[in-house]
Structure 1
Amino acid sequence: MNLWKIAFFVLAGLIVSGIIALVIALESPMDSDPLPPPTQYTPKGSVLSVKATRSDLEALANNYIRKAMKGEPLPVTMEVKDDVMLHSELTAFGMTFALMMHFDPVVLEDGNLMLKQTSMEIGELNLPPSTILMVLRDSVKLPPWMIVRPKEEEIFIHLSELEIAGNLQVRAKSIDLANDTIELEVTIPTD
């Protein structure tokens, strides 16, 4: 057999193997980071109940994302309407794709938030949500209080890790986006 034919078939086999490996890697998300253990909430100071709206929550979240990034470009922006939407951009193969993910917020027992993914939009691509979350986790630098969990299709927001002026502690009490009512608890330390 001709040497060029052998080289062609070897190269074609390597390319096909590479494509198959890429598809398998994208289809099977890696294990998610573990959630921190639930914190026992024992307020040490004055506790204030704060009522907020969707626009208040959106402004607060984007402000803390901006603060956590310390002057770097914002990896995600949050929009709060009837659900929570995260907007971002992903660059793959030299192309940039607009990415929008929809989540339902769930208040956990310890006052932290879990964003459960309901749908996503990324250009014309039809990829599983777990794959998009895996790519987001691995390619975008997020604040340390946002834990992306691709396998579970969720994002954990560790409110107790937020650095708030004066060592304030924040926890969520309830979120009802349909009625535009959000209740937070803010603890002001007494010492």
Structure 2
Amino acid sequence: MKKKDKTTFIKSPKQNPWKWAFLVLVVLLLGSGIFLGTRIFSVREPHYQNATETTRQGDPILTINSNKKQVNQLIDFYLQEYLKDSDIKYNFVLENEAMLSGEFKILNFPVTVYLYFDPYVMENGNVQLRGTSLSVGTLDLPLKEVMKMVKRSFKFPEWIEVDPDDKSILIRLDQFQMQNGLFIKANRINLLDDEIQFGLYLPKDKTAESTSSSVSESSSK
């Protein structure tokens, strides 16, 4: 009789469930730590920057879109305050053209004059008014001579320059500043479509100016 072959069975090592549970726990903790770290230390809106960093000298902090009615109200308010102690009054309004009107005496007779201008925005943000026509009752006077009388008779701010020879008026917005130092520049003036746009600018860095002046004073001593 043949002897039966003996079959050898190799016992597999018992799996330890606590070992696998510990490894899973370690992986979860490491993953949570990495996720929280990236959320805490990353910038939520990386494309946004501080306003003081993005605003450069020469950039407007605010763009003002207006119309003729609003600008006329502002001009009227300013002139009433500016001319309250002046004997000669005048008006300046924006219609299809810019119109300057007022009354002064010619040969001791009161005469009301109307001057019409086309406004042009200059590269530096100032506004030039170029004379186009006038109305002085029944008198036939050249525009240049009337503008000379206007320059002599009307009281204008220092930042308004009347040039009779050029038949123009220059509004120097770069010399007009508010009490807090803010200033404006003209961007666009379209009277026919009633579109007027200005830019509001921050004052120059006074700290830099004071530092440069102190340096120059110390070097001169």
- Larger fraction in strand: 1
CA offsets per residue over residues 73-92 of structure 1, 9 Å max, x none? 46321111111111111212
Contact 1:75 1:142 in 2 (8 A): no
- Count of residues in correspondence between the two structures: 150
Contact 2:68 2:94 in 1 (8 A): yes
The two structures have a TM-score, normalised by structure 1, of 0.71
CA distance in 1, matches of 2:84, 2:59: 29
Comparing 133-142 and 55-64, the one that deviates more: 55-64
CA distance in 2, matches of 1:49, 1:127: 41
Aligned to 1:77: 91
2:77 matches 1:63: yes
Aligned to 1:126: 140
Alpha-carbon distance, 1:189 to partner: 4.0
Name the CA shift for 1:139/1:190 in 2 (closer, same or farther; >3 Å). closer
2:173 matches 1:144: no
* Gap runs ≥5 in structure 1: 1-41
Aligned to 2:181: 167
The two structures have a TM-score, normalised by structure 2, of 0.62
* Gap runs ≥5 in structure 2: 1-55, 206-221
Paired residue type of 2:158: P
Identity of aligned residues (%): 25
Alpha-carbon distance, 1:58 to partner: 1.5
Paired residue type of 1:53: N
Larger Rg: 2
Paired residue type of 2:79: I
CA offsets per residue over residues 124-147 of structure 1, 9 Å max, x none? 111100000011111222111111
Paired residue type of 1:83: E
Alpha-carbon distance, 1:70 to partner: 5.7
Contact 1:116 1:154 in 2 (8 A): yes
Alpha-carbon distance, 1:182 to partner: 0.4
Question: Of the candidates 85, 93, 96, which is equivalent to residue 110 of structure 2?
Answer: 96
Alpha-carbon distance, 1:176 to partner: 0.6
Alpha-carbon distance, 1:59 to partner: 1.9
Contact 1:107 1:175 in 2 (8 A): yes
Name the CA shift for 1:141/1:178 in 2 (closer, same or farther; >3 Å). same
Which SS does the other structure have where 2:155 is aligned? coil
